[in-house]
């Protein structure tokens, strides 16, 4: 059992008065974030000076005293302060190579506001935010763990005008009982994932199923007059289709990742560079639709929660071109070749199943070597350069 921070997400149905207060809060959060980004950018470009969170916080206090920004005092000060913390985190991610340079927030994108413990009241299973007289109408789809107290809540409004609340709390998550079963997973496009035990899980292709419907809604949206109410209605229809696709994809990934975590002690996957793979113009749409990164991310934190092992093998390991029986490595294996015969031992391989078995083998080798980068056998081509395994 380990204590982990865990967020529970629920649908919220605010009243008209609460919607107005949330809209004002979202606007203030967005303005403060954009103001802080402009201050940090100008200070560095003009004076070669880096502003910290404390510098921006004191500057924000002075900003609220100005007549032009007096309306910032009409909402809770906590969400605006948290927006500066998020900006500071965004710059930290940029400097450490985990993200791009922060960009300005837009009104038409998702809006959110974070409330820490001093800005909301938790009583008898109800949450009342600061500056609000009534608790939020939350659709409790599942109960919160008994004895836990939320440390912060984040209210979000998506482009489809839906409201959600994420409740962050510390929870003692019990590890699952250890088992001996291990599995290798080869991610693909024809099938979403192929397991080393022979199970094939098909690709639902959620975006592909709603693509024509989305294109029709987008055409109607483009023909509406800018600034009109009909254009807003058409934009909302487009946003709802995108939300439907994203919700179904997320639900599928959660159910599959949870099942794999419960059924296996060790799961081995390949480290895919999705950012580089989507540069392929012919496959970029299909790669974006399948959602590999979301699936692997869910496996990663769920394995940490429940005491399982997730092993990511080397990106350059030739899992598809390597014969699982004898270890022979082909010089090349085109994407359209789904079955191939090993020239050394004569075994006929299914491309994806062979890759899954190789991923499991090298993943267990890495795990037994205490996390060291182990690459059994030769993994270089005749030219002496490592060659990446390309999968559809």
Q: Would you put residue 178 in left (φ > 0), alpha (ψ -120 to 50) or beta? A: beta
Question: 304 CB contacts (<8 Å, ≥6 apart)?
Answer: 4
pLDDT for res 236: 94
Q: What is the pLDDT of residues 143-184, one digit of tens each?
A: 998 888 899 999 999 999 999 999 999 888 889 999 999 999
> Rounded to the nearest 5°, which phi and psi values hold at 290?
-75, -30
If the chain, 392 residues long, is cut into consecutive pieces of 10 residues, what is the mean pLDDT of each piece? 86 96 96 96 92 94 93 94 96 92 93 94 92 94 88 95 94 89 90 90 92 95 94 95 95 95 92 82 86 91 91 84 83 82 83 88 77 39 40 40
The full 3-state SS of 66-90, as one line of letters, equals CHHHHHHHHCCHHHHHHHHHHHHHH
Q: Where are the domains of the chain?
A: 2-173, 182-202+260-368
Question: 133 CB contacts (<8 Å, ≥6 apart)?
Answer: none
Strands 152-157 vs 163-173: parallel, antiparallel or unpaired:
antiparallel
Which tokens sit at 196? 């080393």
Q: Which residues are catalytic?
A: 186, 270, 352
Are 217 and 238 contacting, i.e. CB atoms less than 8 angstroms apart? yes
How far from the centroid of its chain's Cα atoms is residue 70's Cα?
Answer: 36
pLDDT for res 125: 86
How far from the centroid of its chain's Cα atoms is residue 355's Cα?
Answer: 26
How far from the centroid of its chain's Cα atoms is residue 63's Cα?
Answer: 34
| Whole-number Å distance between alpha carbons of 313 and 318 | 10
Euclidean distance between the first and the last CA atom of the chain, given in angstroms as a whole number: 39
The whole-model pTM stands at 0.84
> What angle do helix axes 292-306 and 229-263 make, rounded to 10 degrees?
50
pLDDT for res 369: 66
- 312: nearest Cα among 262, 247, 267, 274: 267
Which tokens sit at 5? 């921070």
| DSSP annotation of 143 | P
Q: What is the pLDDT of residues 288-319, one digit of tens each?
A: 888 888 999 999 999 999 999 999 888 888 88
Q: How many residues does the chain have?
A: 392
Which tokens sit at 246? 């994203």
pLDDT for res 377: 41
pLDDT for res 259: 95
- 327: nearest Cα among 353, 350, 354: 354
Question: 298 CB contacts (<8 Å, ≥6 apart)?
Answer: 253, 254, 257
Strands (E), the chain: 2-12, 111-116, 120-123, 126-129, 138-139, 152-157, 163-173, 182-187, 191-195, 200-202, 266-270, 309-313, 339-341, 348-350
pLDDT for res 342: 84
Are 166 and 248 contacting, i.e. CB atoms less than 8 angstroms apart? no
């Amino acid at each position: 059992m380990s204590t982990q921070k865990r967020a529970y997400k629920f649908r919220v149905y605010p009243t008209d008065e609460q919607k107005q207060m949330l809209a004002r809060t979202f606007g203030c959060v967005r303005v403060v974030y954009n103001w802080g980004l402009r201050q940090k950018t100008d200070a560095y470009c003009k004076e070669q000076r880096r502003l910290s969170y404390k510098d921006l916080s004191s500057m924000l206090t002075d900003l609220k005293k100005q007549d032009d920004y007096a309306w910032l005092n009409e909402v809770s000060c906590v969400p605006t302060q948290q927006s500066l913390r998020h900006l500071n985190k965004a710059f930290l991610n940029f400097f450490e190579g985990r993200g791009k340079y922060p960009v300005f927030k837009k009104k038409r994108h998702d809006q959110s506001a974070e409330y820490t413990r001093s800005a909301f009241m938790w009583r008898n299973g109800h949450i009342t935010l600061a500056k609000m007289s009534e608790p939020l109408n939350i659709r409790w789809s599942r109960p919160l763990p008994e004895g836990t107290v939320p440390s912060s809540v984040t209210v979000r409004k998506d482009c489809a005008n839906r409201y959600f609340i994420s409740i962050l709390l510390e929870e003692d998550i019990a590890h699952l009982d250890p088992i001996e079963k291990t599995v290798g997973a080869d991610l693909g496009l024809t099938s979403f994932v192929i397991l080393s035990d022979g199970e094939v899980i098909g690709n639902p292709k959620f975006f592909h199923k709603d693509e024509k419907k989305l294109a029709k809604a987008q055409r109607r949206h483009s023909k509406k007059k800018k600034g009109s109410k009909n254009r807003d209605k058409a934009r909302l229809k487009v946003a709802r289709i995108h939300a439907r696709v994203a919700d179904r994809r997320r639900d599928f990934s959660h159910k599959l990742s949870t099942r794999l975590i419960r059924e296996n002690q060790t799961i081995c996957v390949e480290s895919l560079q999705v950012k580089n793979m989507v540069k392929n113009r012919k496959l970029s749409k299909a790669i974006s639709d399948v959602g590999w990164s979301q699936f692997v991310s869910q496996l990663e934190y769920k394995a940490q929660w429940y005491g399982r092992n997730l092993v990511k093998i080397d990106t350059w390991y030739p899992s598809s071109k390597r014969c699982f029986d004898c270890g022979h490595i082909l010089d090349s294996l085109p994407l359209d070749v789904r079955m191939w015969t090993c020239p050394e031992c004569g075994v006929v391989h299914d491309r994806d199943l062979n890759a899954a078995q190789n991923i499991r083998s090298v993943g267990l080798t890495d795990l037994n070597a205490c996390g060291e980068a182990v690459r059994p056998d030769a993994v270089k081509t005749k030219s002496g350069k490592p060659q990446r395994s390309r999968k559809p």
